[in-house]
Amino acid sequence: MRNDVPWDVVVDSTKGVMYWRLGTNIETAAMDGTQRRVLVTEVGNSYGLSIDLKGQRLYWCNTTTIESASLDGSDRRVLLNTTDAPFFTTVLGEDLYFTDRRHVWKINLSASAPTIQQVGPAFVSLINGLAGFSSQEEIHATGTTNTCSNDNGGCEHVCFPTPKGPRCGCAEGFILEETSSQCSMAMVRLVGKEGSGAAESCCQKDMKDFYSGLKEVWGPKMKGPVHLKSTDGMETFYDSKKAVARWSEQYQKLLNVPGDIDHEALDEILQRITKTSLNEIPAMAEMA
């Protein structure tokens, strides 16, 4: 099993916090990805992380135990020792349900001593390979609100509820305008449209000034890839390979432009957008 892939993501949408297992740890972060930290360590290859919003606890299981901890990582407890290899958990009301891939069981969380009861023996025992389930209560916490509930938190595209309040985000290909909740298209005019005669405008001796302006695009505001737009504004390249091909076609024309071409700046922009260097494109490397 890969240890760099998150498993069993659960959220407390009222507080804007999410939890997941990564490797042998349970981690947490705000729903915008900030404030990330390790919450519980050495949980093994656990499965079935679930959240009890009413009791403010997390539950998870591995091959021999079902455990729990408070949402801040404290008060870790072993709820049940078992040889039945529990695989998945979910909370409904005051009961914790879990499966051993063949049956569904429940534990009353309010009891002073946990008691286990099989659920629906008439039909559930026929299930083979049951890997997971969830309760409507866990999916839809009715009557709850968060910082994004009112008018999408004031955000134009996406609102992330966090412990510090709403955080705005943008769809892929857009950037969040500074000190604003509005999004604008992240378009950069770098590629000449064939036959337009406009390719020369992107790479003349003022390239350094042009590139300095482009640095703004790749700041912390960037929420998605930059699309390449033709210099006449009439064509957009969403495929970086096509953009590189067009760039290669136009490069010879740029060599005939009066003034100096800033090859270094051009190469850096090309790498930032398409992950390709001028030297990786034979025709362009020869021209340079």
DSSP per position, 141-209: -TT---TTTTGGGG-SSEEEEETTEEEEE--TTEEEPTTSS-EEE-EEEEEPPTTSS-GGGGSSTTHHH
pLDDT at 186 over 60: no
Residue 159 in any domain: the answer is no
Confidence of residue 117 (pLDDT cuts 50, 70, 90): confident
Q: Give the count of domains, the chain.
A: 2
pLDDT at 114 over 90: no
- For residue 111, the domain's CATH number is 2.120.10.30
pLDDT at 105 over 80: yes
The reply to whether 108 and 27 lie within a common domain is yes
Confidence of residue 221 (pLDDT cuts 50, 70, 90): very low
Give residue 278's pLDDT: 53
Question: Distance (Å, rounded) from C-alpha 172 to C-alpha 167?
Answer: 16
120: left (phi over 0), alpha (psi -120 to 50) or beta: left
Calculate the average pLDDT of the chain. Answer: 69
Domain that holds residue 14: 7-139
Give residue 20's pLDDT: 96
pTM of the predicted model, to two decimals?
A: 0.61
Contact, 62 vs 90, CB < 8 A? Answer: no
Residue 235 in any domain: the answer is yes
Residue 162 in any domain: the answer is no
Model confidence over 240-262: pLDDT tens digits?
Answer: 455 555 555 554 454 444 445 55
Residue 144 in any domain: the answer is no
Share of the chain above pLDDT 90, in %: 25
User: What is the average pLDDT across 23-50?
Assistant: 92
